[in-house]
Amino acid sequence: MRIAFANDHAAVAMRQPLLEELAALGHEVLDLGARDESRTDYPDFARAVGDALHRGQADRGIVVCGTGVGICIAANKLRGIRCALVTDEYAAVMSRRHNDANVLALRGREFDPDLNRKLLRRWLETPFDGDERHQRRIDKIARLEELNE
């Protein structure tokens, strides 16, 4: 799978463990993240991942900032992006199974890299179940995006 990956300065320490996990799983990674702790703005990285998905350069995206919250909010402002902030396995699985999340947001600070790797694996391996009620809800979310035009 082709994955667009981006992190801001607050998630530089989490960057390498996640990139190594993606490589170990055999994914092709488009690395758009910050390489050092020089201050950056997480909306720029959310946008870079969203643009990669819109241009067809990636199938899914992963975004990481200090808490995961800001970059998740920013990503969800982009058309067609369904970003889920995941901090446990249940959310990792259900964000894919029921919501067809195409971008995963993770915490870069105050969080265990091993747990983040596990959440990443669970999210990537879980398919959307395609149930009519879930697709109907996703379609309604897409229509909400049109209200902002």
Task: In whole angstroms, give the CA distance from residue 110 to residue 125.
Answer: 25
Does residue 98 have an active-site annotation?
yes
Cα 91 to chain centroid distance, Å, stands at 13
Sign of CA dihedral 104, 110, 116, 117: positive
Does residue 54 have an active-site annotation?
no
27, 65, 72, 83: the catalytic one is 65
From the list 40, 38, 83, the residue with the least C-alpha distance to 62 is 83
Task: In whole angstroms, give the CA distance from residue 7 to residue 10.
Answer: 8
9, 54, 83, 98: the catalytic one is 98
- Contact present, 75 and 103 (Cβ < 8 Å): yes
Task: In whole angstroms, give the CA distance from residue 48 to residue 86.
Answer: 20
> Tokens 């105050």 identify what position?
110
Q: What residues act catalytically?
A: 65, 98
